Every structure is written in C-alpha cells, then in structure tokens.
Structure 1
Amino acid sequence: MRIAIFTDTFYPDINGVAQTLKRLTNFLENQNITFKLFAPASPTEELASCHIHRSKSLSFFMYPECRLAFPNLSQMKSELLNFLPDLIHVATPFNIGLCGVYFSKKLNIPLVGSYHTNFDHYLQSYSLSFLSKLHWNYMHWFYQSCKKIFVPSSVTFQLLKQHGFTNLELWPRGVDCQLFHPYYDKKSVKNRYIRGDSYLLTYVGRLAPEKDLSTLLAAAKSIPSDINQRIHWLIIGDGPLRDELETQAPGNMTFTGYLDGERLAEVYAASDLFVFPSASETFGNVVLESLASGTPVIGAKSGGVQNIIKPGVTGLLCNPGNVHDFSEAILQLLTNEPLRRKMGTSGRNYALTQSWDHILNNLICHYTDVIQEREQQIYA
C-alpha cells in the first residue's frame, strides 16, 4: 500500500489537523506502510525530507502560525510519478489539497478526503455568514470525487449528511494515555504558576474569534468574589486575539503561550477544571486530552465536543455563548470535590478506551477497501 497525503498544515504547526496527521504518518511508518506527504514548508524545517515534500509558503495574515503554500505542480507531478501511490488522501481544501484533487483526476488515482474544520461556523465568527452558501458549494465541489469522506464525530457526520454529502465514514480521534495521565506531581506544577492553595482552571487552544473566548472571560469575571479570589486561570495557546484578551483579562488569568508535550500534559493533570467554550469544533482533541489527564471538562453543547463529554459523568455541557451556564457549571464543580474526583476518574477510564492504534487500523481498512475496489474495476 502506497499512500499520498496532501495537506495545508502539518507538524510543526500547532493545531488539531497537524496533530492528527502527524499521528497518522507515525503510525504508517511503524506499520511499514509507504507514504509521501505534501505540505507547506515550515520556517523551522527544510523544504523536503525522505517522506515529505514541502512547498514554499508564506505566513497567512489572519493566522501567522499557519502557512499559505505555493506548490510547484511539475515537481509534485514528478514526485507522484516516481512514488506511484495507490491512493491519495486530501486533508484540507486549500492550495495543497487542491493539488491532491487535481492529480487524482489527472493521474487516475483513487481519492479519499477528510473533513476536519467547520468553516461555516468560522464564517459566522468573522461576520461573513453571507458566504455560507458559497462555502458549501465549494465543499461539495472539492469532495465530490472522494470515494470516502472521513469525519471526526457523529455530530459532524450528521451535519455533512444534512448538507447532502455521501460516502461519509467516521474517523474519530484517539489520545496518548501514556503522555496524558493524572499521575504528574500536581503540587509542583501548581507552584510553578500560582501561589497558595488556589483552584487551577485551564483553557487550551487557539486564541481566535471562533473559540468564543469572550464567553470564557465573561464567565471568569462573573464568579462571586469569595470563590474568585481562590481561582487562577491558565490560558494556553496563541493567536490573533491574544493581545486583546490579555488587555481585557482579569488579574487572576495568566497567558502562557503554546505548551506541548509533557509541559502541557502536567498542566492538564494539575488543573481542577478544563473550560472550553468553543462551539465550532468538529471533534475537540484538547477535551479528550483533559479527560485522559483525569480533569473534568466544562464545554459547549455543540459540535464534536458534545460527543466526548458525558454530562454529569465526565463533565458538564453548557449552552453555547451562555455566560451564566458556564459560571454556574464552574461553581457547581468547584464546590463539590467528590463529584470532581469521580468525574476525573470516569474521564480517564473513557480516554483509555480511545486507542489510536484501533482508530488508525480502521482507517487503513477503509484505504484497503477503496484500493481493492479500484483494482476490481481495472481487472473486471
């Protein structure tokens, strides 16, 4: 099996798509499945490596941490002809992804796609809802030749089905329960960020309009003072809203920038609650990471997050954008330590069932089905 993957974001980019694809390519390598990945160049990496073809790129003005690629089609075609893939997987609907669709048609290679981001919700967040119809028309055109379209959650599956997409398959996300676990030295981690015996509440993600951080800030400010003086917030991540948010934030809120690896995992574990107001998620990797760390999650009852959190068991779900709901949920769990501990244990137990190996083996089975279908058509 030889797989060509086309994506507009990949490691070392920090986002859910890049993280998922890095996990996939690591799995393919471990399983001795040959792959070639086409992605934008990163300022910190060379243009090409053994398995990766990097296209020249520039920082995208709305998201400086993301890259806008300028692919060389003749180089790509040459690499593909030398590689001779059995299957092309397009992961993003932008410049590199478009190249994957083009070469699938040009070279008659079976195509599958994955849908990672709810761009329609992003349009609402940026006051561009008038582009919604155009967006869905484009998405239909982009994915129309895919033999299978992989989606990360049942909510996203239903959303695309309602918009007339077919050939949909679930491709959920797993979590590394050896990295994300509850057994770090929580006291030393807390001492690194806060003084005294305060509650530690955490948010992890991009600092951007579609994450609805205005709701988080408003909820943080609405907590009664007797409880609020015992709370400290860690806002982990970066993005276009960081300067504005730091200006508006209350005094008990610290912005750390990006954290990764063990530094991120130990913060999850040391946190009393993880608060995630985003209503735009197709899955919500950070929610599953928090649960694996034994930390209950308060999230928005929207998107893929509601497929991960079991209300009253692993966390609580709030109406999107409802400041009162979020502040009440925070108070409910902070004032009930036995419930928090029980939720933390349940969250960890759930995360242990979300094995990357099982999930990625299932994806390979879908790859195999598409390749075999193509072979049968050729030899029929």
Structure 2
Amino acid sequence: MKIAIFTDTYTPQVNGVAKTLKRLTAYLDGKSISYRVYAPAASGTKDHNQNVIRFKSFPFWCYPECRLAFPHLSKVKKDMKDFKPDLIHIATPFNIGLVGLYVGKKMNIPVVGSYHTHFDQYLDYYHLSFLAPYAWRYMRWFHHSFKKTFVPSLHTKQKLKIQGFHNIKLWKRGVDRKHFKPITDSEQHVRNYYNIKAPYLFSYVGRLAPEKGLDTLIEISKRMPPHVNKNIHWLIVGDGPLRRSLQMKAPLNMTFTGYQDGIRLAQIFASSTLFVFPSETETFGNVALESLACGTPVIGASAGGIQEIVTHKKTGILCRPGDVESFTTAILSLLSDPAKLAAMSKLAREETRDWGWDDIFEQLLRDYQNVVDNRSHPSLA
C-alpha cells in the first residue's frame, strides 16, 4: 500500500495532530510502507526526509503558532503521478487539505480524512460564535466525499453524527509507555532545575490559548487555602498567544517553562503530584493519557474526549467544566488523603496498558486496506 497524507500541521509544530502524524509516519517507516506527507514548510528547520514535501507557509495572523501554507498544485499533481498512491489521508480542512481533496477527485484516488479539532467550540473563545453554523456547513461539505472520517473518541463520533456526518470510524490515540513512565530519579532533577521547594507539584501541559480554559486554571491556583498554597508549586508547560497575559496574572508559585519535549516532558509528568487540565474542547486529550502513563492522576474537565481517558475517582477526578470550586474541592480532597492519591497513581499507570500505539496503527492500516479493497471490488462496499 502507498499512502499520501495531506496536512496543514506537521512536526516540528507542537500540537496533538502534528505529533500523531509523526508517530504514524515513524510506524510506516518501521513497516516499510511507502508514504508521502504534504505539509507546511517548517520555519528555520531543514527536513531531510524525502517522503515529506513542504510548501511555503506563514504564521496565521490570529494564531501565530499555526501556519497557513500555499501548496503548489502542479508540484503536488506531478509528485502524485510519480508516487501513485493507493489512498489519500487528509488530516486538516485547510489549504493543503483542500489540495488533497481536489487531487484525490481528479485522479480517482480513494480519500479518507480525520477530524481532530472542535472548531465550533474554538470560535466561542474568540468571540466568533456566529460563524459556527458556517463552519459546520463547510466541514460537512469537506468530509462528505471521504470513504471514512476517523475520530479520536466516541464523544467526537457522537457529536459528528448529530451534525450529519457519515462513515465515521474510531481511530484512538495511544501512549508510548516506555517513554512516559514513573521515573524514580526525575522528581529531584525537575525540582533542582526549576528550583522548586514546595512538596506538591501541579502541572499543566498544552497550548497557552483561550480554548484551553486557562483563566480557570489561574483562578484555581488563587483559590487554594493559604495553608495549602504554601506547599504547592505549579509548572505551566507550553506556549501560545496567552503566555504573556497569563504570566502577568499568575501567582508567585507558578513557573512557565515554554514548550518541553522528550525526556524533560516525561520527567515533569512523572514528578507531578497532580496534572490539572481544565480544557473543555478536547477531542481526545493526549497529554492526559501521557500523565496517567507516568502515574500522575488527572484533575480534568468532564467534557470531550478526556472523559474516555480518566476513570472518575479511580485514575483522577472529572470536574464540572469551568467550575473553579469543583476543581479546588477535587484537588484538596486528594491532598488530604495520601492513601487515595497513591492508589490513584498506581491505577493510572496500569490503565494505560491497553493504549499501545502499535495496536492502534495496525487497526488504522486495516481500515485503510478495507477502503482500498472496496474501491477494487465495489460490490463489497
């Protein structure tokens, strides 16, 4: 099988979509499966992977960490004719995704797609809610010709069904348990690096953007009772348009680390007492799964895909979305019950055993093959 992937975000960009696609291509490399990735050019980074075709891009004006690409249609068509893919996978509904859809139709190549982001909810946070009906209309048009639309959670699948999408298939996400794991010497390393003296370490990992519920996070940090607060330090891992304003509002016991990856990120997860994640807009929530794999319970919003990762009151606590009191009560209940916290930590690690990437990608390849076979034998569709 030969697979062509069209995406408006890819490594070295830091987000769940880019990271998932990088893992997918690494898996394809390991299986010696031929692929092409059509993606935005990475600013200041040279790509030595000949399977990745890059296009000139610029930061998106209202969200600079996202890039707007300008794909060269004739270049894509020529490369596709040479490559002769069996299937096209479109990961995003923007410029490069549109080119993938156009080429797929013109060359009669079966197209599948994936849905990663609740853009309608994002619009709420940017005071553009009036655009939501138009966004859904566009997304229905964009996805209607796909043989399958892959979604990361059952919650997302149900939401798309309500919106009139068809041929929806679950494509779960996974976690590398060899990388994200309890690390015995990580806590002192992280504490020394960030000069943390407080006994409790709370972390947040993700984009620093309005849709992540970070005003709620700041308010949670300020609502901790003084006698507890003096024993807490917060690590805010990530970057984005809100970083400067958040730092101005943040309490003294909060450190902003910027983007982290690799062993440092795993160490931060493993060193944390709790992972606090108030986002209400997650289609999945990779970071919550990574936290659990490190043995760190999650205090998260009872919304979106997070509900399918965190087992309430067993591997974490799911709180009322946007409710500061619900979050602070959950945190205080665990800090006052060390035995419960320890039990949650142990179970958090254990419950990630069934989230291996290899099984997930093997299923995805079976779904790809099913689409290709049905193209060759329409009577089986």
Matched, 1:30 2:30: yes
Alpha carbons of structure 1 residues 123 and 195: separation in structure 2 relative to 1, 3 Å: closer
Would you identify which runs of 4 or more consecutive aligned residues in structure 1 move more than 4 Å?
none
Deviation, structure 1 residue 378: 9.9
Select between 264-273 and 335-344 the one with higher mean Cα deviation: 335-344
The match for 1:189 is 190
TM-score between the two structures when normalised by the length of structure 2? 0.97
SS in 1 for 2:62: coil
Structure 2 matches for 1:11-30, cutoff 5 A?
11-30=11-30
Contact 1:3–1:86, Cα closer than 8 Å, also in 2: yes
Contact 1:189–1:267, Cα closer than 8 Å, also in 2: yes
TM-score between the two structures when normalised by the length of structure 1? 0.98
Contact 1:48–1:54, Cα closer than 8 Å, also in 2: no
SS in 1 for 2:63: coil
Q: Once the two structures are superposed, what CA deviation does each residue of 1:177-216 show, in whole Å capped at 9, x if it has no partner?
A: 0110012412232232244342000000000000010000
Q: Once the two structures are superposed, what CA deviation does each residue of 1:4-29 show, in whole Å capped at 9, x if it has no partner?
A: 00000001110000000000000011
Contact 2:198–2:230, Cα closer than 8 Å, also in 1: no
Deviation, structure 1 residue 120: 0.7
Contact 2:198–2:233, Cα closer than 8 Å, also in 1: no
Q: Once the two structures are superposed, what CA deviation does each residue of 1:125-172 show, in whole Å capped at 9, x if it has no partner?
A: 111111111010000010011000000001001100111111011001
Aligned alpha-carbon RMSD (Å):
1.4
Select between 73-82 and 52-61 the one with higher mean Cα deviation: 52-61
The match for 2:171 is 171
Select between 267-276 and 47-56 the one with higher mean Cα deviation: 47-56
Deviation, structure 1 residue 305: 0.6
Contact 1:276–1:299, Cα closer than 8 Å, also in 2: yes
Deviation, structure 1 residue 260: 0.3
Matched, 1:282 2:283: yes
Alpha carbons of structure 1 residues 16 and 122: separation in structure 2 relative to 1, 3 Å: same
Alpha carbons of structure 1 residues 98 and 47: separation in structure 2 relative to 1, 3 Å: farther
Deviation, structure 1 residue 47: 6.6
The match for 1:371 is 372
Deviation, structure 1 residue 367: 0.2
Name the CA distance, whole Å, in 2 between partners of 1:234 and 1:115.
Answer: 30
SS in 2 for 1:35: strand
Counterpart amino acid of residue 374 in structure 1? R
Deviation, structure 1 residue 48: 7.1
The match for 2:2 is 2
Counterpart amino acid of residue 333 in structure 1? L
Counterpart amino acid of residue 203 in structure 2? T
The match for 1:215 is 216
The match for 2:358 is 357
Name the CA distance, whole Å, in 2 between partners of 1:80 and 1:92.
Answer: 19
Counterpart amino acid of residue 4 in structure 1? A
SS in 1 for 2:78: helix
Matched, 1:118 2:125: no
Name the CA distance, whole Å, in 2 between partners of 1:246 and 1:69.
Answer: 31
Name the CA distance, whole Å, in 2 between partners of 1:207 and 1:38.
Answer: 27
Structure 2's unaligned 5+ residue stretches are none
The match for 1:342 is 343
Name the CA distance, whole Å, in 1 between partners of 2:196 and 2:7.
Answer: 43
Structure 2 matches for 1:88-127, cutoff 5 A?
88-127=88-127
Name the CA distance, whole Å, in 2 between partners of 1:48 and 1:86.
Answer: 24
Select between 286-295 and 39-48 the one with higher mean Cα deviation: 39-48
Structure 1's unaligned 5+ residue stretches are none
Counterpart amino acid of residue 221 in structure 1? K
SS in 2 for 1:206: coil
Name the CA distance, whole Å, in 2 between partners of 1:379 and 1:129.
Answer: 42
Aligned length: 380
Alpha carbons of structure 1 residues 324 and 82: separation in structure 2 relative to 1, 3 Å: same
